[in-house]
């Protein structure tokens, strides 16, 4: 991803992480229009997912022209209505114009500090990472959160390398940022991912394209909630 694609110039000094606050335990839905009949169906599914517990939406439609992506993002921001954090994958100008909460950058270029200088407190910046080296580099650059994958085999990355729970433990032990695990996450394995140290999880087809996206999201949120309840109980016993 280039500076031109992100829509920022070049600056030198680092600035501290700023911007809108991430949910404490994100349940992120990453959009994919191929899992919907049309735009209206995608929006219906996003709304249902938020009703079911999704509290973060990443608008990831890389093939859309800016104008169409802006229109889609504005509608998702309106649907979220403060109930879910909305981030746009890769396009800062679209995120700003749509009133989104964040922008998500891929792994590869150390752009986060430059984005921070330009954006100040207007957007929270996330980074995709795949290993410990990428995670520590993103943290050094000033990322506000990390999306770590691929954890388990997934529809979007079939046959690709997976890190498993070992990767989650390794990264979460090394960085002081919220880590959102992605890749093959389901209601059946979300608890294990949270126990391994992830702050939250991100999903695509575990919710989108399901017969009942609201119920699918609710099942994931319930799995996450059980782990959070366990942690609270343990903390209370220690006290």
For 196-224, write each residue's pLDDT tens digit. Answer: 999 999 999 999 999 999 999 999 999 99
Domains, the chain, in order of start with CATH, read 22-238 (3.20.20.70)
Q: What percent of the chain clears pLDDT 70, i.e. is strictly above it?
A: 83
- Which residue in this structure is represented by tokens 């500090």? 113
Across the chain, what does the average pLDDT equal? Answer: 87
DSSP 134-165: HHHHHHHHT-SEEEE---S--SSSTT----HH
| CA atoms of 31 and 46, how far apart (whole Å) | 8
Residues 117, 140: contact at Cβ < 8 Å?
no
Report the range of poorest mean pLDDT among 36-45, 58-67, 115-124, 143-152: 115-124
- Cα–Cα nearest to 24, from 152, 131, 179: 179
CA 132 to chain centre: 18
- Cα–Cα nearest to 51, from 6, 76, 84, 21: 84
């Amino acid at each position: 991803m280039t500076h031109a694609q992100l829509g920022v110039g070049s600056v030198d000094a680092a600035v501290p992480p700023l911007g809108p606050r991430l949910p404490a335990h994100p349940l992120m839905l990453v959009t994919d229009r191929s899992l919907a009949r049309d735009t209206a169906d995608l929006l219906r599914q996003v709304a249902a997912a938020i009703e079911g517990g999704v509290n973060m939406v990443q608008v990831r439609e890389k093939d859309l022209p800016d104008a169409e992506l802006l229109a889609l993002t504005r509608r998702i921001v309106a649907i979220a209505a403060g109930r879910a954090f909305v981030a746009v994958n890769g396009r800062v100008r679209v995120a700003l114009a749509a009133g989104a909460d964040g922008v998500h950058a891929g792994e590869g270029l150390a752009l986060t500090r430059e984005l921070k200088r330009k954006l100040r407190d207007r957007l929270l910046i996330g980074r995709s990472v795949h290993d410990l080296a990428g995670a520590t580099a993103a943290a050094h650059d000033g990322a506000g959160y990390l999306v770590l994958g691929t954890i388990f085999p997934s529809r979007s990355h079939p046959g690709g390398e997976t890190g498993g729970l070992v990767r989650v433990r390794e990264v979460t032990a090394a960085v002081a940022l919220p880590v959102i695990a992605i890749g093959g996450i389901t209601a059946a394995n979300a608890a294990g991912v949270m126990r391994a140290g992830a702050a939250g999880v991100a999903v695509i087809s575990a919710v989108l394209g399901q017969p009942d996206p609201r119920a699918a999201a609710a099942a994931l949120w319930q799995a996450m909630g059980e782990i959070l309840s366990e942690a609270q109980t343990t903390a209370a016993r220690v006290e």
